[in-house]
Amino acid sequence: MQRFFNDPSKVVDEMVEGFLKCHTNIVEKTGNPRVVKSVFPTKGRVGIVTGGGSGHKPAFVGYVGKNMVDAVAIGEIFSSPTAKAFYDAFKAADGGKGVACLYGNYAGDNMNVKMAKDMAEDDGIRVLTVVANDDVPSAAKGEEAKRRGVAGEILMWKCGGAKAAKGGSLDEVIAAAQKAIDNTRSIGVGLTPCTIPEVGKPNFQIEPGKMELGIGHHGEPGIKVTDLKSADEVAKMMVDVVLPDLPFNSGDEAVVLVSGLGATPVMELYILFSKMNDLIQEKGIKVYRSYVGNYFTSLEMMGATLTVMKLDPELKELVDAECDCMGLTQF
């Protein structure tokens, strides 16, 4: 393994230590080493919590900050945080107006959040949840509730965080975050597998010259393996899955987010984006705002995800709001 670590079982702890040392103006530690909170107070407004397995930098801890996430529960690599970590994150984010837990649809996260929510409610903290399910290939149309949450979670946090910053009630914050994810669709393409340091070898394979359409953020095998195509052809395959699913129609305005999966050069993401942008505009859909970079990764996997969110006046205002966190700074 050509990787930097000391003890493979301690990569998450050592990453959190480094993150806290670096981003002192945005985040601070809590009594739980697996919970990090924002330095911006939540008193008198709704607190935003997320959490998930590690290995997705900047997600999840990188979205803790101003007008975004207030506290995060940090799990082992590709493994849900404990119920205790979610519970401690709820307590860290609670400013007296309730907590919105905005997270992705994975079995472990669902169970741990449910237990943590019960624990917090015993303490009188009201917690409501939105479960992101933007990954189109992970389940058929009509079975959207089974779909995974992927990079669309960033736009969900952006909208929920902005709504909380504007003084929205817990119900209003939840409604905004739910609307954001309901109008968001994503797809991933993988070119190489990734390796959890403690496992020491890739847990799946993609043969050279092949690509995996619909790959999961944890290296879950995709829906289809095909020959590796040109960037323009890959861009078209991805757009062709995402746009018809919502569907996005002529006249719509949209946010487009293209994220690398960890090891793909950002240069190549712009090559993909260029074609995606053109294809989307050709359908009569206005690209109102776009993001290209490593926003939600999967260790050192090569590949990319495309996320598109349809806007309405409220979502547009929330997307435009300023925010300051490691993963996304916008003024």
Total of chain residues touching another protein, rule CB under 8 A: 35
23 counts as catalytic: no
Residue 270 binds another protein, judged by CB under 8 A: no
Per the CB < 8 A criterion, the answer to whether 70 and 27 are in contact is: no
221 interacts with another protein by CB under 8 A? yes
Q: HEC profile for the chain?
A: CCCCCCCHHHHHHHHHHHHHHHCCCCEEECCCCCEEEECCCCCCCCEEEEEEEECECEECHHHEEECCECEEEEEEECCCCCHHHHHHHHHHHCCCCCEEEEEECCHHHHHHHHHHHHHHHHCCCCEEEEEECCEHHHCCCCCHHHCCCCCHHHHHHHHHHHHHHCCCCHHHHHHHHHHHHHCEEEEEEECCCCCCCCCCCCCCCCCCCEEEECCCCCCCCCCEEEECCCHHHHHHHHHHHHHHHCCCCCCCEEEEEEEECECCCHHHHHHHHHHHHHHHHHCCCEEEEEEEECCECCCCECEEEEEEEECCHHHHHHHHCCEEECCCEEC
Site for another protein in 117-176 (CB under 8 A): 138-139, 146-148
Out of 37, 97, 179, 218, the only residue in the binding site for another protein (CB under 8 A) is: 218
Q: Which is nearer to another protein, 84 or 229 (CB)?
A: 84
State which of residues 68, 85, 206, 302 lies at the interface with another protein (CB under 8 A): 85
User: Applying CB under 8 A, does 219 fall inside the site for another protein?
Assistant: yes
| Residue closest to 269 by CA, chosen among 302, 227, 308, 223 | 302
Residue 107 interacts with another protein (CB under 8 A): yes or no:
yes
What sign for the dihedral angle of Cα 150, 154, 159, 163? positive
Please choose, out of 73-81, 176-184, 259-267, 274-282, the segment that lies near another protein by the rule CB under 8 A: 73-81
- Please choose, out of 161-169, 181-189, 192-200, 284-292, the segment that lies near another protein by the rule CB under 8 A: 192-200
Shortest spacing between CB 245 and another protein, in angstroms = 15
- Of 67, 112, 178, 264, the one binding another protein (CB under 8 A) is 112
Among 15, 28, 66, 108, binds another protein (CB under 8 A): 108
The residue (of 114 and 286) whose beta carbon lies closer to another protein is 114
Q: Which of 90, 6, 102 is nearest to 59 (CA)?
A: 102
Which one among 19, 60, 78, 157 touches another protein, defined by CB under 8 A? 78
Q: CB-wise, 75 or 327, nearer to another protein? A: 75
Q: Does 203 bind another protein (CB under 8 A)?
A: yes
- Binding flag, residue 80, another protein (CB under 8 A): yes
Rounded least distance, CB 104 to another protein, Å = 12
Nearer to another protein by Cβ, of 189 and 254: the residue is 189
Task: Decide: is 323 part of the binding site for another protein (CB under 8 A).
Answer: no
Q: Is 56 a catalytic residue?
A: yes
Nearer to another protein, 39 or 199 (CB): 199
75 binds another protein (CB under 8 A): yes
**Checking DSSP bridges between strand 35-38 and strand 71-77, what pairing results, if any?**
antiparallel
Residues with a known catalytic role: 56, 218
Binding site for another protein (CB under 8 A): 9, 53, 75-85, 106-108, 111-112, 115, 138-139, 146-148, 196, 198-199, 203-204, 216, 218-221, 223
